[in-house]
Amino acid sequence: MDAGSRREFERRKQASTGQLLLRAARLLNERAVGRVRDEGQPDLRPVHLALMPHLDMEGTRATVLAARMGITKQGVSQIVADLEQMGIVERRPDPGDGRARLVCFTRRGEASLLHGLGVLERLESELAVGVGETRMQRLRQGLVALLVELEKPA
């Protein structure tokens, strides 16, 4: 390969947006989970934290959670099983449908969620200091717009 096309290669080879996204996501979630753990929930893993914001206070079905999270219902089932064992959620029969069960927070789970949300808010505002409020805001907006695009089928 000659020097010219080598330079051309290098120019185009900067990390793709996909790689940037992945790396940022990993680092951010890692840091968030690290803090929650340090503050007294040592068994909590990223997925657990990821499910919580999708839970409605009246309880939510596994299929609905799956749709909101973009994963399979079986995946949800596993995460919920963990959270149940930790005493954070419980599964109650759905009064209107005998097949379904409503996943909802226990009393302890509500406290846990509240705490987790606090950690997240603090972490993000700390990062915003370095990144800049405006840029952080725009990053979020861009993400939301991109997700809309990506969620269109095909």
Q: Give the interface with its own copies as residue ranges (CB under 8 A).
A: 1, 6, 9-10, 12-29, 31-32, 50, 53, 57, 70, 110, 113-114, 117, 120-121, 124, 127, 130-132, 135-136, 138-152
Nearby residues of 90 by Cβ (< 8 Å), 6 or more positions away: 84, 103, 104, 105, 106
Q: Is 89 in the site for DNA (CB under 7 A)?
A: no
Q: Which does 11 bind (CB under 5 to 8 A by kind): its own copies, DNA, none?
A: none
Q: Is 20 in the site for DNA (CB under 7 A)?
A: no
Q: Is 32 in the site for DNA (CB under 7 A)?
A: no
Q: Is 73 in the site for DNA (CB under 7 A)?
A: yes
Count the site residues for DNA by CB under 7 A.
Answer: 27
Q: Which does 23 bind (CB under 5 to 8 A by kind): DNA, its own copies, none?
A: its own copies
3-state class (DSSP) for residue 94: strand
Output the six-digit token pair for 102: 């409503």
Minimum distance of its own copies from residue 84's CB (angstroms): 20
Minimum distance of its own copies from residue 91's CB (angstroms): 19
b/e sequence 83-118, b meaning 16+ C-beta within 10 Å:
beebebbbbeeeeeeeeebbbbbeeebeebbeebee
Rounded-to-integer distance, Cα 32 and Cα 122, Å? 10
CA terminus-to-terminus distance, the chain: 36
- State how far the alpha carbon of 53 is from the alpha carbons of 98, 112, 128, in Å: 26, 12, 21
Give the H/E segment covering residue 40: none
Q: Is 74 in the site for DNA (CB under 7 A)?
A: yes
Q: Which is nearer to DNA, 72 or 137 (CB)?
A: 72
Give contact residues for DNA (rule: CB under 7 A): 45-48, 50, 61-64, 71-75, 77-81, 91, 94, 97-102
